[in-house]
Amino acid sequence: MRSSGFQNASLLLALCYLTFAVFGALGPLGVSWSKDLAIAPAARKMAWFSVLEFDGILDKENLPDAQLAWLAQQAWNEMKVDHDSKPWKDTEITNSQAGKVPGAMIALVKDRKVYLASSQRSSLSKSEKSEKSADQKIAAFRGIAWSPLISPKPVRDALRSCLIRYEDDAHHITGGNCGEQLAAVLAFNEITDKSEKLPGSRMVAWANIKDVPRVIAPCGDVPDEDGRVSGNPGCQSFIKALEIVAIPESTKPEKFDAKFTARQPCLGLSVDGKTV
């Protein structure tokens, strides 16, 4: 079951489903920076995302791995263009807070939808970070997938189930700031049943590593049959907990003529008294 806080946010989701602010020129995939995610007290994260909705079920025959990789590649390119336009320039967020373009773009396919989500960067200023207590700094470091105000319970449970398989001081290698977590949040926000996992789903991560753009494997060590590894947990464990399958790292993008509807999702965030 989802948490009551998330249920309340879900009830309001329909009210803002098609309402979103557009910053900069959107590309065909509709990938856009979220001002609301950057300024909401419960989030304070820089991220880019979009949802693509197709007419039919997107199995491997209708959307092969190579085409899914192409969508992730194009989404990363759109994010880079939008980031370089500084869409935050009319807000209180500064260039130093915005930082570099996020390192990776995720494409997660489930049923008829592809969820595009970047990795997350903090939008806190240095002074804001310095004023926080040790516990607050840990909370600020963690990605939004940890937040009960934003993240559906299955996503938080998947993160926790990974951690208890390691040493007591183990943590997600990036604090849960990967695009895999944000993509899963978007997916569960739109699932109408009481699913706790995402069976039949596939995902790919696209990144520019040392100026070489390519598919990359999910972070963290690969769990063994008992779900244990000796190093830090990461998205290898996270996606396994949700039954998401990562496509092979050797996959090369293949362009195709895609017909879909692109839109910005709502996250159930409360900003200035409004749900976004």
pLDDT of residue 58: 96
Instruction: Quote the crossing angle between the two packed helices 179-190 and 153-163, to the nearest 10°.
Output: 140
Residue 268 and residue 63 in contact, taking contact as beta carbons nearer than 8 Å = no
Residue 117 and residue 34 in contact, taking contact as beta carbons nearer than 8 Å = no
Residue 105 and residue 206 in contact, taking contact as beta carbons nearer than 8 Å = yes
pLDDT of residue 80: 96
pLDDT of residue 192: 77
pLDDT of residue 124: 78
Closest among 244, 225, 43, 217 to 154, alpha carbons compared: 244
Tell me how far apart the alpha carbons of residues 81 and 75 are, in angstroms, rounded to a whole number.
10
pLDDT of residue 164: 60
CA angle 230, 179, 101 (to 5 degrees): 115
pLDDT in tens, 82-117: 999 999 998 889 888 888 899 999 999 999 999 999
pLDDT of residue 276: 54
For the chain, which ranges sit under pLDDT 50? 1-25, 137
Half-sphere exposure in the Cβ direction for 107 (13 Å, CA): 30
pLDDT of residue 274: 52
